[in-house]
Amino acid sequence: MIVFSDLMIEPFLQKKDEITFTYSEDYIWNSAVKDQNVLFIFSDYFRSYSRSNILSILQLIDDASKFNEVSVVDDMLFTTYNSSWEINSIKSNISFEDFDLLLGDYCQFPFNKAGTLKLEKCIDGWSRRVRYPVLKVSFVDLDCTLLPGVWEEDRNEIERVYHSQKGYMHRRLWLVLKKLYSHGTQVIIVSKNDKKSIEEALAFIDPFYEEYVTHIDYGWAPKGERIKQLLQKLNVGAADCVFIDDNPVELKAVSSIFPEMNKVHLTGLTDVNNVWREYLYGISFDKRVASERNDFYSAILKRSSDINGFTKINYKYDVHQNDSKHFERVKELSVKTNQMNFCKKQVIVEPGHMDYDIFTISVVTEFGNLGIVGYAIFNKREDLMENFVMSCRALGFGAEEVFINHLLEFSKQFSFVKSKKNGVAKNLINKYIDDGRITIKNLR
């Protein structure tokens, strides 16, 4: 990658090993340079130069474009460049306030700090698109990412606040995804909710969501493994994709399989604006496929994964028995949680009941304290686990199996009632039924 400028840019920017900076005021292109990605940055003060210099700059762009992929930082106060060859235009957003002309109009670097940062963004955006020229797929989480909460647990609250200021970040993200789609990027929802629930949530976000969402991936399996299968089917390299999620556990899981994939940890509006700036803002590259890179990453995807079963997340847990301080959270989970809920049944048993034990599990991961994420109700008289519930925030890295294994020390009989929304729970319990560790006794 080459940055060619009539400004002495390099000393004022952070070191960029992958870029060769060329400073020249001669406006003569070396015809021996071919098959390179070139970025031109001109001061635009050549407007005060002679007409011949203006023509020399335009000729320079044309000469370089014959055998190279050329981009130009555009509109640095005055000029929009036109070329007889195809060039990519990058908007600079440079204004008069971004210049520092204390040393005169002809100083080697006439920008203040704000102007320097704008140039850095132009160069960073260009270099990213050179390395990853087409963002082919955006994998996006649903709960707490596209929505201000967990749809299955907080639906009423989400419907109340989504169109308020509290929901602005999430609405903004949806608009960015729609814009990405218009540029040729596939938008794939990756969620642990069941499909019908995801469709209901997306319909709430946008009644016409099907025009923009190219696929819905749902299920309980770790997202990294599910994304791997999708990339194999799509024959797309991970470096040409972005994964957007609010959960650092999921981000680490995907990173462990695809360290080269672009990832966005959604914590605030700044992260949404970064998606806009990094993948859309101010540049118009064509959508040519980098076939060599796709072949390379597709070969990697076909190799066996080193990750078997659960994502390797460092966490600690405690199982509590009949802790009255947890009962309010238990009642909340009993009403809100659907996916990992063996029997959708509201808790009415109070702590300390002689015939029942209430087990709860608290989890602390390397990323933070998840709090009370699950519970189970044990009917001692009937030797039966009447219900087992886990919040979706704690699924996918093994805590659910740790909890069940603890409960098996008390009983091997579990109640299970299949519903339209608890397919995730069914997948889990089937593993225990198949190897004989659990027997099912449905509730009447």
75: left (phi over 0), alpha (psi -120 to 50) or beta: left
Taken in order 283, 287, 292, 293, the sign of the CA dihedral is: positive
307 found inside a domain: no
Which of 116, 131, 146 delimits the end of a domain? Answer: 131
67 found inside a domain: yes
255 found inside a domain: yes
Angle between helix 151-161 and helix 327-336 axes, rounded to 10 deg: 80
The amino acid at residue 319 is V
Residue 233, pLDDT score? 84
203 found inside a domain: yes
6 found inside a domain: yes
SS3 435: coil
282 and 171, same structural domain? Answer: yes
Block means of pLDDT (10 residues each) for the chain, length 444 residues?
Answer: 83 76 83 87 60 75 85 69 67 77 63 84 78 78 95 91 94 92 86 91 95 89 89 83 92 90 91 77 39 43 42 82 90 82 79 84 82 92 92 80 94 89 82 90 62
| Structure token digits, residue 222 | 């770790």
Residue 370, pLDDT score? 82
290 and 148, same structural domain? Answer: yes
Residue 365, pLDDT score? 81
Report the domain count for the chain: 3
3-state SS track over 287-345: CCCCHHHHHHHHHHHHCCCCCCCCCCCCEEEEEEECCHHHHHHHHHHHHHCCCEECCCC
342 and 405, same structural domain? Answer: yes
Which of 77, 109, 131 delimits the end of a domain? Answer: 131
Residue 44, pLDDT score? 60
393 and 322, same structural domain? Answer: yes
| Structure token digits, residue 409 | 């020390």
Cβ neighbors of 85 (< 8 A, separation 6 or more) are: 61, 62, 65, 66, 70
What are the contacts of 432-438 at 24+ separation with CB within 8 A? 432/404, 437/408, 437/412, 438/404, 438/408, 438/412, 438/413, 438/414
Which of 101, 131, 161 delimits the end of a domain? Answer: 131
238 and 90, same structural domain? Answer: no
213 found inside a domain: yes
Torsion of CA 8, 9, 15, 18, to 10 degrees: -100
294 and 177, same structural domain? Answer: yes
327 and 265, same structural domain? Answer: no
Separation CA 22–CA 40 (nearest Å): 10
Least Cα distance to 243 among 235, 252, 232, 251 occurs for 251
Residue 305, pLDDT score? 36
pTM of the model: 0.60
Residue 395, pLDDT score? 75
Separation CA 304–CA 378 (nearest Å): 41
Residue 18, pLDDT score? 78
Please give the backbone phi and psi of residue 308, each rounded to the nearest 5 degrees, phi first.
-115, 135
> What's the domain range around 332?
315-440
147 and 276, same structural domain? Answer: yes
220 found inside a domain: yes
321 and 286, same structural domain? Answer: no
105 and 8, same structural domain? Answer: yes
Helix (H) or strand (E) holding 141: none
236 and 89, same structural domain? Answer: no
256 and 164, same structural domain? Answer: yes
